[in-house]
Amino acid sequence: MSRIGKLPVNLPAGVTVTVAPDNTVSVKGPLGTLNQKVDSDIKVEVGTHKEKDSDKEVPAVFVTRPTNQPRHRSLHGLYRALIHNMVVGVSQGYEIKQELVGVGFKAEVKGSVLEMSLGYSHDTYLKLPPEVTATAVTEKKGNPIVTLKSIDKQLVGQVAAKLRSLRKPEPYKGKGIKFVGEQIRRKAGKSANAK
């Protein structure tokens, strides 16, 4: 069995999961609704199971596969992980923080557009999808921090990767857009007394 695939996905309070006849799983929670089309070979069921420490029955989603073919084994873990990410997304949401490191770097959110000054001769604009919200905070003597929030883990990760690609951190001074807490591998510059 797939170690990930065989684990049930526990449903927190306020989250409901329905499986349509065409194998589309829709997860509804306090923050919104997400849908995911599941391969027709993979079976998704909503039921209950006992928690480890207590005899309490909790609602959960179970993902099963028909055979041990490599394709079915890979899809088994994949769809279980996607459903788990949807459950977490509609109940808690996802947040990614990025820091703009550089002199004169600025960020401002205007509606659904992120307007940034990244050391180029022109301002840079990033149009955000409607499912992603952004906030930009600049504290005194600190770098601007852009926070992206969404219920869709995949989408918020793609937007964060796109934002980082606009000015990747360089290894000498560390200038660029980096994730908060990310360690940039630094290089030594030219040595002043090199012969």
Q: How does pLDDT run across 102-137, given as a tens digit for each residue?
A: 888 999 999 899 999 998 899 999 999 999 999 999
The first and second tokens of residue 21, run together, are 């006849």
Structure tokens at 37: 């089309």
Q: What is the pLDDT of residue 195?
A: 53
Q: Give DSSP secondary structure letters for 157-179.
A: HHHHHHHHHTSPPPTTT--EEEE
Report the range of poorest mean pLDDT among 40-44, 51-55, 138-142: 51-55
Average pLDDT for 42-46: 91
Does 57 have pLDDT greater than 90? Answer: no
Starting at the edge strand that comes first in sequence, how are the strands of the sheet with 9-10 ordered?
Answer: 9-10, 57-64, 43-50
Instruction: Give which of 109, 9, 111, 101 is closest to 64, Cα–Cα.
Output: 9
Nearest to 165 by CA among 98, 93, 96: 98
The reported pLDDT for the residue numbered 2 is 66
Given pLDDT bands bounded at 50, 70 and 90, which one contains residue 174?
confident
Q: Tell me the pLDDT band of 186, cut-offs 50, 70 and 90.
A: confident
Level-2 CATH architecture, domain 94-179: Alpha-Beta Complex (3.90)
CATH tag, 9-91: 3.90.930.12
DSSP three-state, residue 62? strand
Q: For residue 17, what are the β-bridge partners? A: 27
Report pLDDT for 193. 59
Tell me where in the chain the CATH 3.90.930.12 domain(s) lie.
9-91, 94-179
Tens of pLDDT, residue by residue over 60-74, are 999 999 999 989 988
